[in-house]
């Protein structure tokens, strides 16, 4: 959030939403790891609102988190499905302060890849849980310094934001509604090294009771909306129950324009629904695309409702857009429509409520798309060596205390996903 390089190039072209291609011309979802059709499976079997959560981590994997397991004061993190070679369980010890779990001293439990076992103690994890009176909750946090097994021992680590549910719905009809979303995905080599295009966007999507849906990137939902990077494509697809409810309790499978696209989890908390999508697919050139989406029931946001101090955390990067594997945090304040970052090099900026940026309008300053309930957007301005740099930021509140966001971290079209937690 406070890194600088060159002026904004706007959001990268959305290749995933529309099954098209990014800047390298690759297909975004030609095959899906671990997904299937609805054959023989009429209903999902979500978790029963206890201390186990299942969902996504934003570098594109499916994980579960168990609190007070195998013993009180411990957390077990299980890598269920991964394109980075991650399998098995890590167990760490937590401290709990004002609802914030800080997990350290991870060790491998059972069979895990050698690189993961060797690097387990360096893994960091923080999270919080927001739940309703029925204990239906969303676990939000971050995971850092996770060994990238496919890249080889010690050569790379991963970091990302966690979104996980301890409940869900049993049928696709239970998902019906209009959602606001943010999404981020990218291409990786078979060794797990980032390469090629990156897709970052936000907008709205309508899911019908039969599981069909239409996504509207960079815009509010409209029955005739089209892809923001290709006006000839309608971003439509279907959602069905995942047939393997033992491995993926409560999961649904998503197809987009006829291609398998990702695995979806739901959390119903109060009157709102939060959805988490683990996107995973292979490109025609042998690379794979991975990432995550976060959805939340679309509703108007009101200036003043998010006033206060927030701690915003995101994956750390170098000035040339290399992910470093750890997490950096910045303390910010929101007062009405004014967003004030910490640090002398960053200026306060206007936070536009119920708005986002048009990801396809690549120019020095992105076009603001208004009337998109459930999203907030603004241009962060920083100075470096006397130069002013603009970075686009788009926020998706999933509760009164948690905001997922996209940050154009170096102001040059490269994005990371972050999480702001109210202090």
Q: pLDDT band at residue 153, thresholds of 50, 70 and 90?
A: low
pLDDT band for position 4 (cuts 50, 70, 90): very low
What's the mean per-residue pLDDT of the chain?
A: 87
Looking at per-residue pLDDT, the higher value among 173 and 155 belongs to 173
In angstroms, the CA 20 to CA 39 distance is 28
| Single pTM value for the model | 0.89
- Unique residue bearing structure tokens 């815009």: 219
Say which residues have a Cβ less than 8 Å from residue 17's Cβ, sequence separation at least 6. Answer: 183, 199, 201, 215, 217, 227, 228, 235, 256
The domains of the chain, with CATH numbers, are 308-422 (2.40.128)
Q: What is the pLDDT of residues 299-315, one digit of tens each?
A: 999 999 999 999 999 99
Tens of pLDDT, residues 221-263: 999 999 988 899 999 999 999 999 999 999 999 999 888 999 9
Rank 5-14, 162-171, 280-289, 411-420 by mean pLDDT and report only the highest. Answer: 162-171
What's the confidence (pLDDT) of residue 395?
Answer: 98
Which pLDDT score, from 0 to 100, does residue 55 have? Answer: 98
Q: What is the pLDDT averaged over residues 116-132?
A: 96
Query: How confident is residue 401, by pLDDT bands cut at 50, 70 and 90?
Result: very high
Residue 1 pLDDT > 60, yes or no? no
Residue 362 has pLDDT above 80, yes or no: no
Alpha helices in 46-181 (DSSP H): 114-119
Q: From the CB of residue 284, how many other CB atoms can be counted at a distance below 10 Å?
A: 10
**CA-wise closest residue to 234 among 214, 219, 253, 218:** 214
Closest Cα to residue 388, out of 411, 362, 408, 415?
411
Compute the average pLDDT of residues 69-79.
Answer: 98
């Amino acid at each position: 959030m406070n890194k600088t390089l060159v002026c904004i190039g706007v959001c990268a072209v959305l290749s995933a939403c529309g099954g098209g291609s990014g800047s390298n011309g690759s297909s975004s979802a030609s095959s899906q790891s671990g997904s299937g059709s609805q054959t023989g499976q009429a209903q999902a079997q979500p978790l029963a609102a206890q201390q186990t959560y299942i969902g996504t981590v934003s570098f594109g994997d499916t994980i579960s988190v168990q609190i007070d397991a195998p013993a009180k004061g411990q957390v077990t993190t299980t890598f269920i499905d991964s394109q980075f070679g991650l399998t098995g369980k890590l167990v760490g010890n937590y401290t709990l302060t004002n609802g914030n779990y800080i997990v350290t001293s991870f060790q491998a439990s059972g069979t895990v890849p050698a690189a993961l076992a060797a690097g387990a103690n360096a893994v960091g994890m923080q999270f919080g849980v927001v739940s309703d009176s029925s204990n239906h909750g969303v676990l939000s946090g971050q995971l850092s310094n996770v060994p990238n097994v496919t890249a080889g021992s010690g050569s790379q680590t991963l970091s990302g934001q966690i979104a996980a549910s301890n409940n869900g719905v049993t049928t696709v009809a239970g998902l019906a509604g209009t959602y606001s979303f943010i999404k981020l995905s990218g291409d990786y080599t078979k060794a797990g090294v980032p390469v090629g295009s990156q897709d970052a966007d936000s907008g709205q999507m309508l899911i019908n009771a039969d599981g069909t849906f239409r996504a509207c990137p960079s815009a509010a939902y409209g029955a005739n909306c089209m892809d923001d990077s290709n006006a000839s494509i309608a971003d439509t697809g279907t959602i069905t129950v995942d047939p393997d409810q033992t491995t993926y309790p409560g999961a649904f499978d998503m197809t987009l324009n006829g291609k398998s696209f990702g695995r979806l989890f739901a959390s119903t908390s109060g009157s709102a629904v939060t959805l988490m999508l683990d996107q995973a697919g292979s490109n025609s050139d042998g690379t794979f695309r991975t990432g995550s989406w976060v959805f939340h029931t679309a509703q108007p946001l009101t200036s003043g409702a998010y006033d206060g101090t927030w701690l915003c955390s995101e994956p750390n990067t170098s000035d040339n857009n290399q992910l470093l594997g750890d997490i950096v945090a910045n303390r910010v304040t929101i007062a009405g429509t004014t967003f004030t970052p910490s640090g002398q090099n960053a200026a306060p900026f206007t936070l536009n409520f119920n708005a986002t940026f048009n990801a396809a309008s690549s120019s020095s300053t992105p076009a603001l798309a208004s009337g998109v309930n459930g999203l907030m957007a603004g241009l962060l301005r920083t100075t470096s060596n006397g130069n002013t740099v603009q970075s686009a930021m788009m926020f998706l509140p999933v509760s009164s205390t948690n905001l997922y966001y996209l940050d154009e971290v170096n102001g040059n079209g490269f994005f990371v996903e972050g999480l702001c937690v109210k202090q």
